[in-house]
Amino acid sequence: MNSNNAQYESMLSFESRDSRNGRRIAFVNDAYSSDDESYSDGSSATSGYSSRASSPHDLNDVDDGGVVFENTKPLIHTLEYILCVKEMCDVTFLAGKMKEPVYGLQAVMGSRSRFFYELFLSKKKARTKRGVFSLFKKRAKGESVPSTQACHAGDNHIFIPVPDYDHEVFRRVVSFIHLGHVAVTTDTVIGLICASTEYQLEDLRKACWEFVARCITAETLPELLKSGSPYRKRPQVKLFLQMISKMR
């Protein structure tokens, strides 16, 4: 097994069945660890603490013989909270036909996804051009324009429509980008495959395909087909249908 396979296979931390509706569920985590990263310092993988220096800044802060302790769990919990509060986020996606809001942080999404970095940059450039055009238009009409403009907290907030994905699918994509983990279910996996392909989230895409391969049964097939219906024109759905035809 090559290293790439080892990485994305480890992302499916476990698979279970939802007792409420019989859905198959997999929990995907993009934090890859191997046996080589085990330590004898008493730290636990589940505690969120580590004695490793996780960045060059950590190394600069520690003298010889020093130890860096990091606690990542509180940060994850903080991000989970921030994503629920519109006022603490600076990008709102309007997902699906109902334009339901999904909140995010541009800095986090832009640093973890090249696709979103370029998307945010293009939105900001377009808004700057509109602002300059509006300024010149006011001057041309002889309207007074203040030399200094007051800065408002919401000036950096952008709104992006996402009509091609339903709210729950896109919310899980945004959650995965921010938190590094997401629950994949039979009623969301096809949408997640399409979204992770479009947004270039390779780890999530591989893990979702693996989940599909594991969970296809006569029992789950109707739900998988139903969940893929909104995306039936996507090439990923065609691949899914080919996978089913080969199984028959």
> Residues 158, 91: contact at Cβ < 8 Å?
yes
**pLDDT the model gives residue 238:** 87
Over residues 119-123, the mean pLDDT reads 93
pLDDT at 161: 96
Question: Is there a contact between 199 and 173 (Cβ–Cβ < 8 Å)?
Answer: yes
Cα separations in angstroms, 8 against 50, 110, 123, 204:
23, 22, 32, 8
Alpha carbon distance 199, 113 (integer Å): 8
Give yes or no for a contact between 230 and 195, defined as CB atoms under 8 angstroms apart. Answer: no
More confident residue, 171 or 125: 171
Is 212:193 a contact under the CB 8 Å cutoff? yes
- CB atoms inside a 10 Å sphere around CB 56: 8
Please, which residues have CB within 8 angstroms of residue 132's CB and are 6 or more apart in sequence? none
The two tokens of residue 61 are 């802060």
Q: Please tell me which residue, 94 or 31, carries the higher pLDDT value.
A: 94
3-class DSSP assignment, residue 95: strand
- Enter the DSSP assignment of 213: H
pLDDT beyond 80 at 36: no
Task: Check pLDDT > 50 for residue 198.
Answer: yes
Region class of 99: left (phi > 0), else alpha (psi between -120 and 50), else beta: left
Q: Which residues contact 127 (CB under 8 A, 6 or more apart)?
A: 158
Mean pLDDT of the chain: 75
Pair 203, 192: CB distance under 8 Å: no
Question: 3-state DSSP: the chain helix, strand, coil percent, rounded to 5?
Answer: 50, 15, 35
pTM: 0.68
Token look-up 């330590």 returns 39
User: What angle in degrees, to the nearest 10, is found between the helix axes of 202-215 and 3-10?
Assistant: 70
